[in-house]
Structure 1
């Protein structure tokens, strides 16, 4: 598997798959155990068909952009739309600006851009979208991303159940 804090950069070919097990105290439910099957999908056009297969059945998503590469932020709408298209509508999602360890070394996407995008996306899809910044290299905020995603999934489930009753 791929280490969360892998120090070498390598492009994903097709998909990297790994498993993460966590426990979170989710208000108002209590402590829940989660077993995450994580697919890190390749972005190159040649892998479009491969990605569509992995999207099917996904219950939630983490949309990640590299804060040191503005074009990855500009492309985030494409990736979120592709995800929603193949998952048959909006699903719980967390937006993550990764590689924040590079902020002091080069120009980066300002945090407000991610925060504003998450707010607009939340308004468009009708449920909360959180924006977090992380550094996979330094394992900064990685667990918080999954905690926030777990919370978003549970709250989405509760809202759906309440809407049906």
Structure 2
């Protein structure tokens, strides 16, 4: 699937199946930590029958307080860089692994719109982070176009592509 076009439901389902196969092959459980996608990544993964064999948990943390309480994001990070930043997504993904028994985590935070954007962080700004247990967290900045639905859909696809890559590299 190419990320150059808007992913369809079938594209997301195909990506979820590929992630499932990779997680099973790697013998790893997955956890998601989501903000702007509101649990859509977890939904895409758990739509698959048998997902309990490789999916551990999903957490939706919209507010600063939820990011702090559920994922251990440092309040100073949020004050200094905001929720939509590399620092925050790296703390989210690391916190998800620290709090659950999974071996692989993905975290997303962004501005899906239609409001909330700034000149530095316009609508469509999304940070995605990935981390395998025992490895280093890494994050990537995306700038997606479209309305709220399109931005969220592209975020889910990019997150799943990154999980698949992390599991198969």
| Structure number with bigger Rg | 1
Common fold: TM-score over 0.5: no
* Structure whose residues are more often strand by fraction: 1
* Structure whose residues are more often helix by fraction: 2
TM-score of the two chains, using structure 1 as the length reference: 0.40
TM-score of the two chains, using structure 2 as the length reference: 0.39
